[in-house]
C-alpha cells in the first residue's frame, strides 16, 4: 500500500472510530455512573473536557480549536511529501486524532469552537480519554520511532545506511 493511501486510511479510521464511539458513549452512558469493564482497572466514564490533555487550559477552548486547525492544515500539506510508510502511518494517526477532537470542539455544546470534547475511557490512575487521544498517542510513538531510525518523510534516511527502504520495517511489523 502506498504512503498516501496509508496516511488517508489511518486518518479516516481513527476519525470514524472516534466519532462513532463518542456517539455511542453519549447515547448510552450516564455521566453520574461509571461502568466497570475490568474491576479496579478499566471503566467507561462519560465526561466532557473543554481543555487539552488532562483538562489543562479549560479556559482556552477557542485557542485550542485554532491550534488544532493549524495542525490539521500543516499535516495535510506535509502529506504531499510522504513516501515513507511509517511516517504516513504516524501522520495519518495524528491527523485522525486531531480531527476527532476538533470535530467535537466545532460541533458540540456549548457553541462552535468552544465545544467540549467527549471522553469516556478510564484507566486506573489516568485521566479519562477517547479514541482520538489513542490515535494522537500512537502517532507520537510512530513518529518518534521513525525519527530515531533516521527515516525521512520522503522515504530516505538521514545519514544512515542501516535501512534501505524507509518505512518498510513498520509496515512489515504491522502485517505480522
| DSSP notation for 31-100 | TT--EEEETTTEEEEEEEESSSGGGTTTT-HHHHHHHHHHHHHHHHHHHTT---HHHHHHHHHHHHHHHH
Bin 161: left if φ > 0, else alpha if -120 < ψ < 50, else beta: alpha
**Number of structural domains in the chain:** 1
pLDDT digits (tens, 9 = 90+) for 37-87: 999 999 999 999 987 765 666 778 888 899 999 999 999 999 999 999 999
Q: What are the mean pLDDT values of the chain's consecutive 10-residue runs (176 residues total)?
A: 96 98 98 96 95 70 91 96 97 98 95 93 95 97 96 83 47 48
Q: How many C-beta atoms lie closer than 10 Å to residue 13's C-beta?
A: 15
Predicted local confidence at residue 61, as pLDDT: 84
Predicted local confidence at residue 29, as pLDDT: 98
Say if residues 26 and 46 touch (Cβ distance below 8 Å): yes
Question: Would you please indicate which residues are annotated as catalytic (active-site) residues?
Answer: 119, 133
The DSSP element (H or E) to which 150 belongs, if any, is none
Predicted local confidence at residue 162, as pLDDT: 45
Q: Residue 116 — φ and ψ, nearest 5°?
A: -95, 135
Q: Which residues contact 160 (CB under 8 A, 6 or more apart)?
A: 149, 150
**How many Cα atoms sit within 13 Å of 176 on the Cβ side?**
6
Q: From CA 34, how far away is CA 74, in angstroms rounded?
A: 37
Domain that holds residue 125: 3-175
Q: From CA 166, how far away is CA 83, in angstroms rounded?
A: 8
Q: What is the pTM of this model?
A: 0.86
Amino acid at each position: 500500500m502506498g504512503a498516501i493511501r496509508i496516511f488517508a486510511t489511518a486518518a479516516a479510521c481513527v476519525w470514524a472510530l472516534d466519532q462513532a464511539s463518542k456517539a455511542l458513549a453519549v447515547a448510552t452512558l450516564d455521566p453520574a455512573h461509571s461502568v466497570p469493564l475490568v474491576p479496579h482497572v478499566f471503566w467507561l466514564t462519560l465526561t466532557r473536557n473543554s481543555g487539552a490533555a488532562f483538562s489543562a487550559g479549560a479556559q482556552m477552548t477557542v485557542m485550542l480549536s485554532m491550534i488544532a486547525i493549524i495542525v490539521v492544515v500543516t499535516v495535510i500539506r506535509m502529506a504531499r511529501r510522504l513516501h515513507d510508510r511509517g511516517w504516513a502511518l504516524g501522520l495519518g494517526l495524528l491527523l485522525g486524532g486531531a480531527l476527532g477532537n476538533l470535530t467535537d470542539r466545532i460541533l458540540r455544546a456549548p457553541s462552535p469552537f468552544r465545544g467540549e470534547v467527549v471522553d469516556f475511557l478510564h484507566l486506573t490512575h489516568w485521566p479519562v480519554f477517547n479514541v482520538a487521544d489513542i490515535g494522537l498517542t500512537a502517532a507520537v510513538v510512530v513518529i518518534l520511532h521513525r525519527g530515531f531510525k533516521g527515516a525521512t518523510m520522503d522515504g530516505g534516511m538521514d545519514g544512515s545506511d542501516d535501512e534501505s527502504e524507509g518505512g518498510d520495517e513498520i509496515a512489515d511489523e504491522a502485517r505480522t
